[in-house]
Amino acid sequence: MINAFSLILAIITGISGIFWSIKKLYTLMYDRDQHKKIFLQQSTKTYQQSKNAYSLIISYCSIISEFISSIFPILLLVFIIRSFVFEPFRIPSGSMMPTLLIGDFILVKKFIYGIKNPITQKTLINTGHPKRGDIIVFKYPKNPELNYIKRVIGEPGDKVIYNIITKQLIIYVNHVNNIACIQPLPIVYSNVVPSNFIQVFDNDVDGRVNSSFIQIGPHQKCPHGIRLIQTTESFNGIEHNILTMIPPGDQNLIKMYDQHTKHLISEWLVPAGEYFVMGDNRDNSADSRYWGFVPERNIIGKAIIIWMNIKKQQEGIWPISIQFHRIGNIQ
């Protein structure tokens, strides 16, 4: 699994480093101020007086090499920070609403789960592992060219159960290795309220149904959409909000589907070295429920902060505003 952008950045940084090293070696052999004076005089003289194309090419090459060598420290700093410390990402979809919104720009802490080779993503120094509740950015297992962001629900060895109708999770911690694990992890659903998010459906020119999200006040109405339900989900001392189309644990729906519950409950055993992830927008997220587990080697890092949000009227349109109130830590 090769990281193409990191490879290109490493090559450019390496080339710039070669020019920088040559320049440093040259300045060690000659007086720096004298060299600079002679270089500027020769460049100016060559540029103004020479009618020889070869001399002009030499002059331009000298200027270019001087520029390339001068940007090496900046490129090296960017490469180190982006490869081992922090990396910025933009949220393109609503699968992590209400925690992360479309247009959020986030920073991902990369070294929290290990120091990795920026090209091959192989772990060089292990510094930790993802924990249940962490929001992680990872390479999509089905297509490593794509980056996904989801919340960790199941750790290696866990048994995860999800009820499609009640929207509730049941997690047996370390179920594979702990045969005596009878009691599931306590998960509490509270503060069930109508959210400010409306899901709107429309048909495109090919007849396919598409959906999008709009944000309006609690007392405003949208006749052509569905107002999603916001609920606080708590486990391991971590609280976060989720969105669903119906309230989790709705007793009326439980009674309605009581005869068919076995067809509405899905179970997963999380393999060693892999993780079960879900989006906070539970009914609008393609995650481990559909395409499987995330290998630890695919994980890029943990999302820790929103540093900007650019609100767009629609995709492809110039941003209409910067949402400063979105800036802050990610829960």
Write out the catalytic residue numbers: 95, 150
Residue whose tokens read 């920088």: 20
CA dist., res. 310 & res. 55, Å (int): 49
Q: Which of 229, 266, 277, 279 is nearest to 249 (CA)?
A: 229
Cα Rg of the chain, angstroms: 27
- Phi/psi at 150 (nearest 5 deg)? -150, 175
DSSP 190: E
Q: Comparing C-alpha atoms, which of 285, 290, 284, 274 is closest to residue 155?
A: 274
Nearest to 110 by CA among 94, 89, 91: 89
In this structure, how many other beta carbons lie within 10 angstroms of the beta carbon of residue 310?
A: 16
In b/e form, how buried is each residue of 271-302, taking b as 16+ CB within 10 angstroms? eeebbbbbbbbbbbbebbbeeebbebbbbbbb
Residue 47: HSE in the Cβ half-sphere, 13 Å Cα cutoff: 11
C-alpha separations of 14 from 79, 85, 188 in Å: 10, 19, 52
- Torsional sign, CA 149, 150, 155, 156: negative
How far apart are alpha carbons 130 and 12 in whole angstroms? 32
Residue whose token pair is 């982006």: 82
Token code pair at residue 205: 């020119």
For residue 227, what are its two tokens?
């107002």
CB 112 within 8 A of CB 303: no
